[in-house]
Amino acid sequence: MRKNWWKILASVLVIYTAIAGLLLNVPRLAILNESIRNLYFHVPMWFAMIVLFTISVFYSIKSLSSQSEVDDLKAVESANAGIIFGLLGLITGAVWAKFTWGQFWSFDPKQNFAAISILLYFAYFILRNAIDEEQKRAKIAAIYNIFAFPMMVVLLFVLPRLQDSLHPGNGGNPGFNSYDLDSKMRAVFYPACLGWIIIGYWVYTIRLRIKTLENKQL
Amino acid sequence: MKKIASIFILLFAALNLFAQNNDIEMADALRQNGKIYIVVICIVIILAGLLFYLFTLDKRLKMLEKKSGGKN
């Protein structure tokens, strides 16, 4: 039980998000209305995805120097867990967009680039599965991952800022920080991010444990 | 039977017209109550996605347990 304290912490944080996120006061904004509360659920998905991809690229670099199979597995499984959160972020974003921007997919730069960066990681898995020899697979996949990660960062955080976007914080749009992420929203938003990041890490450890068991049996 | 049904359909169509007379906004269902139902949809998507994922992981683990059943 003592080892599991962070899992309990994550559960408490996520439950707190669900309750406080729906009940606490939020700023009254014209088009967003109550859907501003989606900030507590849609955005932490992306944070969890980015943290998991960071873990993935860390172990990819490590596996290149250590040549160990464990590091390679860690890189793959964390990327796998990250994809789930990316897809959930994409779907919830599309639903939110439908009722605030008018369409599920309005070809907003950030939407497009998020989809592309998820495709980048799909390519990573396809590349891995295409190579049979283990040493070679680990090396090529690790190098691809090291290139894919900065691409993802550029696609999500740099390019959308250079053009007009419907997402806040991009182009001519002011960020959440400037007007509506007031201190009350922070009190839910930060715990939500932390909670979902830890849940993502939990999913990754479960995946890793299953994968190592599977490998042992082969 | 068909006649009665068509009468009802027309009646409800007319009722809808009356109800929508005042405001111009259309397809309001999910825009009511300050769009809170969009938040509900998103929470449901996240929970459903993660739960589905949990079930697939559970399945994989069960396969493993079945395979290693003979050894343990």
Give the Å distances, CA to CA, from A160 to A41, A93, A119, A167: 21, 15, 17, 9
Single out the residue of A66, A57, A69, A63 nearest to residue A124, CA to CA.
A57
- Rounded to whole angstroms, the Cα distance separating A60 from A85 reads 20
What is the pLDDT confidence band of residue B63, given thresholds at 50, 70 and 90?
confident
What is the pLDDT confidence band of residue A184, given thresholds at 50, 70 and 90?
confident
Asked whether the predicted pLDDT for residue B70 surpasses 70, the reply is no
B42, B45, B50, best to mutate vs chain A, most A CBs in 10 Å: B42
- Rounded to whole angstroms, the Cα distance separating A187 from A201 reads 22
Q: Which residue has the higher pLDDT, A136 or A180?
A: A136
- All residues of chain A having their beta carbon less than 8 Å from the beta carbon of residue B46 are 41, 45, 88, 92
- Rounded to whole angstroms, the Cα distance separating A64 from A72 reads 9
- pLDDT value, residue B22: 57
Query: Considering CB atoms only, which of A96, A203, A210 is closest to B61?
Result: A210
Place of tokens 């680990």: A138
- pLDDT value, residue A165: 75
Please tell me the distance in Å from B8's CA to the nearest CA on chain A. Answer: 31
Domain segments of chain A as ranges = 2-217
- pLDDT value, residue A170: 61
Single out the residue of B55, B37, B20 nearest to residue A35, CA to CA.
B37
Tell if the CB–CB gap between B46 and A41 is shorter than 8 Å: yes
- How many CB atoms neighbour CB A178 within 10 A? 10
Nearest CA in chain B to A210: B61
CA A48 distance to own-chain centroid? 4
Most confident of A74-88, A182-196, B21-35: A74-88
- pLDDT value, residue A163: 78
Asked whether the predicted pLDDT for residue A55 surpasses 80, the reply is yes
Tell if the CB–CB gap between B64 and A210 is shorter than 8 Å: yes
Which amino acid is it at B63?
M
Average pLDDT over residues A1-12: 85
Contact B57, A88 (CB under 8 A): no
Place of tokens 């359909």: B9
Contact A7, A1 (CB under 8 A): no
Query: Considering CB atoms only, which of A21, A96, A217 is closest to B38?
Result: A96
Query: Considering CB atoms only, which of A32, A91, A207 is closest to B45?
Result: A91
Q: Which of A22-31, A99-108, A138-147 has the lowest mean pLDDT?
A: A22-31
Please tell me the distance in Å from B11's CA to the nearest CA on chain A. Answer: 30
What is the pLDDT confidence band of residue A131, given thresholds at 50, 70 and 90?
very high
- pLDDT value, residue A218: 72
Place of tokens 């182009």: A171
Domain segments of chain B as ranges = 2-68
- All residues of chain A having their beta carbon less than 8 Å from the beta carbon of residue B33 are 34
What is the pLDDT confidence band of residue A167, given thresholds at 50, 70 and 90?
confident
**Average pLDDT of the residues of chain A:** 88
Give the Å distances, CA to CA, from A38 to A51, A163, B10, B64: 20, 24, 39, 38
Q: What is the pLDDT of residues B5-61, one digit of tens each?
A: 776 666 666 555 555 555 665 666 777 777 888 888 899 999 999 999 989 998 888
- pLDDT value, residue A208: 93
- Rounded to whole angstroms, the Cα distance separating A79 from A118 reads 10
Single out the residue of A156, A145, A204, A149 nearest to residue A43, CA to CA.
A156
A212 CB-near residues (< 8 Å, 6+ apart): A70, A73
- All residues of chain A having their beta carbon less than 8 Å from the beta carbon of residue B38 are 34-35, 38, 95-96, 99-100
**Helix (H/G/I), strand (E/B), else coil: A41:** helix
Radius of gyration for the alpha carbons in chain B, expressed in angstroms and rounded: 25
What is the pLDDT confidence band of residue A180, given thresholds at 50, 70 and 90?
low
Which amino acid is it at A9?
L
Residue A174 DSSP symbol? P
- pLDDT value, residue B21: 53
Q: Which of A105-114, A155-164, A195-204 has the lowest mean pLDDT?
A: A155-164
Query: Considering CB atoms only, which of A87, A210, A217 is closest to B57?
Result: A210
Single out the residue of A22, A16, A34 nearest to residue A199, CA to CA.
A16
Asked whether the predicted pLDDT for residue A192 surpasses 70, the reply is yes
Residue A2 DSSP symbol? G
A26 CB-near residues (< 8 Å, 6+ apart): A34, A36, A37, A184, A185
Assigned fold of A2-217: Four Helix Bundle (Hemerythrin (Met), subunit A) (1.20.120)
Asked whether the predicted pLDDT for residue A37 surpasses 90, the reply is no
Average pLDDT over residues A148-156: 92
- pLDDT value, residue B13: 62
A33, A36, A215, best to mutate vs chain B, most B CBs in 10 Å: A33
